[in-house]
Structure 1
Amino acid sequence: MESRPPLPPFSLETARQKVRAAEDAWNSRDPFRVAQAYTEDTRWRNRSDFPRGRAQVQAFLQGKWQKEREYRLIKEIWAWHGNRIAVRFAYEWQDAQGQWWRSYGNENWEFDAQGYMAVRHASINDLAIDASERKFHWPLGRRPDDHPGLTELGL
């Protein structure tokens, strides 16, 4: 299996690179692309879902993005040590009835020696918002480099 740099142990700079790469992949809303960042036997906890392995992760993400329309995500590093990174995140999305949501959360990540994520624990809370309260206004896809992050947005 090829490696997926940057590799652990992480420095602040390489941890930031890993976080931004994850954000970019998730903003693609491509379940296959996202799943490739995880080990074949990855273990997740995402709210009350517990996908195991890339195939289950990919299926989980397909369902997620069918429900969560207009999905835009920002991740920010919280802490790192060795092969682990903690992030906080927020994303905005719209449901099928037109209601806008902001979902906030924290993730704990553990990587293998080749740079693939082996473990992902996510705790997430959802808040209904008015369209006027949205803060993430870039076109679907990668967040522009000059768009404010969570701290700058007061989140």
Structure 2
Amino acid sequence: MTKLVPPFTAETARAKVQAAEDAWNSRDPGRVSLAYSENSEWRNRDTFLNGREEIRAFLTEKWAREIDYKLKKEYWAHTDNRIAVRFEYESRDENGQWRRSYGNEMWEFDEDGLMRRRYASINDLPIEEKDRRL
């Protein structure tokens, strides 16, 4: 398999997006956090995180409250070391309320292919279980 490091081609950028989707759907904070540099910078909604340890802790809390989480990412565009994606995911809370979250992410990678910046804009929509599509 081709190593997924910059500079990205359309093929490797799409593969990087699929790898991210697969990892996030594992809901394994340890696995997912390894895709980020030690000093990675995040904006996730109104939360700002710095470093792999903060990311791991954030994801642990996220998946404890977002039950039955399922994500779909879609490649949007790329440059040498940046990739833009749109995404949507569905989950339910402890009271059984389903929601669909959707938005855009901008990713920047270091020379080793680790994400050093992730900026996510996310909106949430309550949905009925019958309206799930993921």
Same fold, judged at TM 0.5 (above)? yes
Q: What do you get for the CA RMSD once the two structures are aligned?
A: 1.0
Cα offset, 1:5, TM superposition: 2.7
Aligned pairs for 1:3-152 (under 5 A) are: 5-136=3-134
Equivalent residue pairs, number: 133
Paired amino acid for 1:110: E
- For residue 57 of structure 1, report the CA deviation from its aligned partner: 0.2
Give the match's secondary structure for 1:51.
strand
Letter in 2 for 1:34: V
Q: What amino acid maps onto 2:67 in structure 1?
A: R
1:139 match? none
Q: Deviations over 1:6-48 (max 9, x none)?
A: 1111111000000000000000000000000000000000001
Higher strand proportion (structure 1 or 2): 2
Local SS of the residue matching 2:64 = helix
Structure 1 SS opposite 2:46: coil
User: What TM-score does the superposition give when structure 2 sets the normalisation length?
Assistant: 0.97
Which residue number in structure 2 is paired with residue 141 of structure 1? none
The two structures have a TM-score, normalised by structure 1, of: 0.84
Question: Mind listing any 5+ residue stretches in structure 2 that lack a counterpart?
Answer: none
Runs (4+) of structure 1 exceeding 6 A deviation are none
Residues of 2 paired with 1:5 and 1:103: CA distance? Answer: 30
- Structure 1 gap ranges (5+): 137-155
Whichever residue aligns with residue 50 of structure 1, its letter is F
